Amino acid sequence: MKRLYFRIAFLLLCISLLFITACGEKQEVKRKPKKSVIEFNSKIINRPDKSDLNTIKEKGQIRILVSEFTENHSALPRESLSPDYGPNLAIQYAQNSNLEPIIVYAKEVDLIPALNKGYGDIIASNLIKSPARIEKLSFSSPITYTQQHMIVPTNGRLKKIELDTPVTENLRVGVKPEDIFADTLTGLQQQHPGLIRVDIPKKHSPDQVIDDMIEGKYDSTFTDSHMMEMALSYREDFKISHTFPEKKIIAWGIRKNNPSLLASINYFIEEHKLSTDLPAQSLQDFDHILKNKQLRLITRNNSSSYFLWKNKLMGFEYELIRKFALQHDLTLKVLVANDFNQMMQWLLEGRGDIVAAGISRTEENSQLPILFSTPYNHSNEIVVQRTKEEPIDNITKLAGRSIVVARSSSYWNTANRIKSKHLAFDLLDAAENLEVEDLIAKVADKEFDLTIVDNHALAIEQSWRKDIIGTLKLTESKSHHWLVRESNPKLLDALNKFIQANHKNTFYNVTYNKYFKNSRNLFGSHIQDDVKNKKLSPYDDLIKKFSKQYGFNWLLIAAQINQESQFNPKAKSWAGARGLMQVMPKTAKKLGISELHIPKNGISAGVKYMYWIRKQMDKNLTADVQVWFSLAAYNAGIGHLQDARALATKLGLDADKWFGHTEKAMLLLAKPKYAKKARYGYVRGSEAAFYVKQIRHIYQLYQRSFNK
């Protein structure tokens, strides 16, 4: 009997092993990716579904198709709604309909095929309605309108294109194949056969299209009102040459077999448009703002107020006002001013509703027709000097020194008050457009002797750099206020209530710490003792696996992980990036990956994202430059890299090289002079430069150790 039991047990064990082996083979097959029109979001691509509205409601989810390009190449909003306005409006529709919104990213040219193949339910990108597109899908009620323009270089041979004159002969016009502008050009060629079509690569950004025109690859190209207004906010090298009078409709796309969904969306859009039709300038108070459902914020593009980092809009002031807007169901529009005077001008003219930029009350601004909110932040003014100098720990040690601050700032008043006590130091007026970080950098570089800043602004700088120090506190605690017009007491009351309810609560403390306390320095890299044993970390096998899968040298990826997290899978950055490769959760979600603290997921997400970035690089670049550019884009965002390359070209540097060329241009993008003319605005270029240099250094150490 025992022998029989053993035989049965042995037989069951063999069957179990066969079953496990078979399951393992099936799992291996499942890991092979399937081709799809949607490349970036692999989590959604294998479930095509052409449900109507009733079925969508039964499932409780609606899939919103968004352009991958728009998501990853949106310029810093300076005088416009944020780049996620379209998707956010679609999310608002979903929430109003008690549906869970699922964002699905696709290439621009794949949006309509993706919709019709069932990979999404609506397209929430800015689609221009055209006869060719009407044959393929249904359009919602208009979201907005635009006009088409032909543009030419500012300093080109063409001053103005008169389509009925000989100037159209041999005129080279650049368009993307299958683009709405290609249809426009085809129509023009029927009347003006002298127009020559030049095809532009589909993947080119709006700026690349203009850059190619400036370089002479074609004489003219097309743009629409929205793209043109955005581009003109930061560049001056092109102008409108011809405007087509017909207004074009921008709307959402819906499959033709979904009339009930179309009707539901149209009802929502029409209701939304009725409440958000704002004049260009408005002096209305908060009751009208609530009715119009839009709040207009005026601020500065700098490291504390508002900036773009890894395709994410950030900033202490921005996050607080965005929270206020969300609580009141308001769409937030951001206007970026060059200096304090422009902020005040825009506020009093009615271009914006609120100024939020860390402003303190002074004798000068107290004379303006504005109201100050309840304090939402407090700080002290402190003298900033170089770390290696003798500390200025007494006010008498200011004698013989020079202090540089902006005349419109509260620092000027403080320095004047101290100087009135007959202290012999020079007080110099700084340019109004210099940010705090510029003043501090000039002190560190010995261009300025001393400056005065708020202690919290100094804290931001010290989280990046160690060559400056605050030594002498000059004032007691002073308060920061948001500003509104004197005629807007209701808005002031709402802001005060928000501050009182949120000041020092969890949201406020987390936000404050993120910008003013948490270190932004990269993890200090270190070389492990195990290198001698040909082992870098506990995750070497995973690093090798994913590096091989995506075509990277595994030592390079290991060096990147060392720099990002010191091989700590639970690492979390000040900006919210997580895991071994410090990937932003939003980016990981697009890649179909979650739980970044799990080593396999963290490495997979990081290497997959590096692969995606590398694919955006110019294929004519040498392999090593593609790597350095990819690392810079991984750190700062691909948009800031594009800005740096464009600036490098303007400065006579080589935009096809990183070290000593594009690297130099990236450093300049922290300066207002260059940032205000850059599509993506301000970036702390010194971090990207340091990041690439450090990874190259670690990689070379790894190479030497492993090649012995």
Q: How many CB atoms lie within 10 A of CB 554?
A: 20
The Cα 161–Cα 167 span in angstroms is 7
Backbone angles phi, psi at 80, to 5 degrees: -150, 175
Here the tokens at position 258 are 């979904």
In the block, residue with structure tokens 């995606």: 612
The Cα 550–Cα 652 span in angstroms is 34
CA atoms in the 13 A half-sphere facing the CB of 80: 18
CB 687 within 8 A of CB 582: no
Helix (H) or strand (E) holding 97: none
Backbone angles phi, psi at 518, to 5 degrees: -65, 135
CB 318 within 8 A of CB 295: no
Reduced DSSP (H G I as helix, E B as strand, rest coil) percent helix, strand, coil of the chain, to 5: 45, 20, 35
Cα–Cα distances (Å) from 540 to 65, 368, 537, 559, 595, in that order, read 37, 62, 6, 11, 20
Q: Per-residue DSSP letters for 502-558?
A: HTTSHHHHHHHHHHHTS--SPPPP---GGGGGT---TTHHHHHHHHHHHT--HHHHH
Q: Are strands 61-67 and 122-128 parallel, antiparallel or unpaired?
A: parallel
Alpha helix ranges (H) inside 156-298:
180-191, 206-214, 225-232, 259-276, 286-292
Helices 599-615 and 554-565, axial angle in degrees (round to 10): 110
SS3 state of residue 578: strand
Rounded (5°) CA angle 13-15-20:
95
- Is 564 annotated as catalytic? yes
Backbone angles phi, psi at 454, to 5 degrees: -70, 150
CA atoms in the 13 A half-sphere facing the CB of 361: 17
The Cα 223–Cα 244 span in angstroms is 11
Q: How far apart are the first and last CA of the chain?
A: 63
Cα–Cα distances (Å) from 204 to 69, 209, 211, in that order, read 10, 6, 10
Here the tokens at position 252 are 């959402």
In the block, residue with structure tokens 């005088």: 79
Residues 564, 595, 663, 687: which is the catalytic one? Answer: 564
Q: How many CB atoms lie within 10 A of CB 671?
A: 17
Here the tokens at position 7 are 């035989």
631-667: burial string, b at 16+ Cβ within 10 Å, e else: bbbbbbbbbbbbbbbbbbbeeebebbbbeebbbbbbb
- Residues recognised as catalytic: 564
